[in-house]
Structure 1
Amino acid sequence: MPEFTGGLLSMEIIAVGIITVLAVISPGPDFAMVTRIALARGRRAGVFCAIGIGSGVSVHLAYTLIGLGVVFASNVWVLTALRYLGAAYLIWLGLSALWPDIRALVGKKNSANAYNAVTDAPGPDQNRNGEVHNSRSAFWIGFACNALNPKTMLFIVSLFSQVISPQTAVWQEIGYGIYIAACHMIWFALVALALTLPSVQARIAAIKSWIERAVGLCLAGLGIKLLAS
């Protein structure tokens, strides 16, 4: 690259670094999802959810790098479809977190399942298979949460069209993409690790169910807000 490899490139790297960190740590559906998964399923599932969120960013990066991001962003029907899909997914996740309360309200008790859980204790192999399934499920939940988020799409498209210069080499853009995905994975993995520390767990043990309810309401509320926007 010619002259662009000087101060302008350094400013671009700094801008991408700062903007990405600020965007990642700002509260949103991804934060709510990692919180819910980590509190409900444990540290391992929370970390896998974080990896899924970072992997979901790659979907937006892929079509942006091949030039489709601007096309999608400029077509209302694409944004509308993605908004409806993302909103429906968030509402479904929120309702699934509130489902035990909803089921209790309509009078359906789950005593049979509780009895089976006590009498049929799983063996080591079942526990191992359960952990693998739990981690895989958490990964795909995080992946879908980010891949269906229209705000992530607009963030990536805006970053690559307004902050990153057209003169930037492809390998540099790929490097930015890896950095953005890594920031998502690292930040949300740290959130999951922090929420599952023994000291934190001891403090929130009495209100853990209420936190999950609040997160469920938050996810459903974000979905409704996304539909209304």
Structure 2
Amino acid sequence: MHSLTILLGILAALLVGVISPGPSFLLVARTSVAQSRRAGLIAALGMACGATVMALIALLGLHALLQSVPVLYTVLKVTGGIYLLYLAWQVWRGAATPLQVQGDGLPAQALTRTFWQAAATMLSNPKAAVQYGVIFAAMLPAHPEPGLLLMLPPAVFLLEGGWYTLVALLLSSEAPRQQYLRAKTGIDRVAGAVLALLGIKLLLSRQ
């Protein structure tokens, strides 16, 4: 019961960051409304897998490593910022291109690309990496029970996957999609600008 209480507390702390709007939310939302429900769910799966990998790395002492080797955080920050700027350019460049919604008939190659793009978006976010490291360091006991360590990664997968699955299901419905199609150029340019600002903010941040 003690381990379960700790696990629920960690998940509650993580949930605040998970539901906060950011690059991951923008990617899943745009994929869901612009492509298909299936593509949105694949993006949600990519986010969940990326977050699970991040949680595993955090359990291995990522936060302590970033503190002891500051240059590593700088490398992660620059990589993440450049990747966000790349995504911003891709979205902005295609803003005026007419969209033909393909429904759930997207080829496997496109879905695979969507998965890896989502996973890369999650893994390239050093702020999320630090969040996991800080929360684990603050809330895990000095000597956690093996069961707690085993439960954490799948619990993170369910938390992140559940939230982004909900986003994908809601935004891939017909009403949001039709609204998007009517205002695609403006919405994509706003999304591209937001991604660019997030990338610049990440590059200029000191920690």
**Normalising TM by the smaller chain, what interval?**
0.7 to 0.9
| Per-residue deviation, 1:11 | 4.2
Q: What corresponds to 1:57 in structure 2? A: 51
Which runs of 5 or more residues in structure 2 are unaligned? 99-103
Q: What corresponds to 1:137 in structure 2? A: 113
User: 2-side partners of 1:62 and 1:10: how far apart?
Assistant: 18
User: Cα deviation per residue 1:123-171 (whole Å; 9 max; x = unaligned)?
Assistant: xxxx96x521121111001000001100111111011111111221133
| Per-residue deviation, 1:85 | 0.5
Contact kept, 8 Å, 1:56 with 1:143, in 2: the verdict is yes
Q: What corresponds to 1:45 in structure 2? A: 39
Amino acid at match of 2:13: I
**What SS is found at the alignment partner of 1:133?**
helix
What's the Cα RMSD here?
A: 2.2
Q: TM-score w.r.t. structure 2 length?
A: 0.87
The farther-off stretch of 87-96 and 183-192 is 183-192
Which one of 173, 180, 204 corresponds to residue 228 of structure 1? 204
Q: What corresponds to 2:101 in structure 1? A: none
**What SS is found at the alignment partner of 1:166?**
coil
Q: What corresponds to 2:146 in structure 1? A: 170
Contact kept, 8 Å, 2:24 with 2:47, in 1: the verdict is yes
Identical pairs, percent: 28
| Per-residue deviation, 1:67 | 3.1
1:80 counterpart = 2:74 = yes
User: 1-side partners of 2:49 and 2:75: how far apart?
Assistant: 21
**What SS is found at the alignment partner of 2:183?**
helix
Q: TM-score w.r.t. structure 1 length?
A: 0.79
**What SS is found at the alignment partner of 1:173?**
helix
Question: Quick one: structure 1 residues 200 and 100, their matched pair in 2 at CA, closer, same or farther if it must change by over 3 Å?
Answer: closer
**What SS is found at the alignment partner of 1:80?**
helix
User: Cα deviation per residue 1:91-150 (whole Å; 9 max; x = unaligned)?
Assistant: 00010001135xx8xxxxx9xxx9xxxxxxxxxxxx96x521121111001000001100
User: 2-side partners of 1:60 and 1:73: how far apart?
Assistant: 16
User: 1-side partners of 2:146 and 2:115: how far apart?
Assistant: 29
Which one of 151, 161, 164 corresponds to residue 137 of structure 2? 161
1:15 counterpart = 2:18 = no
Contact kept, 8 Å, 1:40 with 1:212, in 2: the verdict is no
User: 1-side partners of 2:191 and 2:63: how far apart?
Assistant: 31
Give aligned pairs, total: 200
**What SS is found at the alignment partner of 1:168?**
coil
1:213 counterpart = 2:207 = no
Which one of 13, 20, 23 corresponds to residue 26 of structure 1? 20
1:93 counterpart = 2:87 = yes
User: 1-side partners of 2:94 and 2:113: how far apart?
Assistant: 19
Amino acid at match of 1:168: P
**What SS is found at the alignment partner of 2:114?**
helix
| Larger CA Rg, structure 1 vs 2 | 1
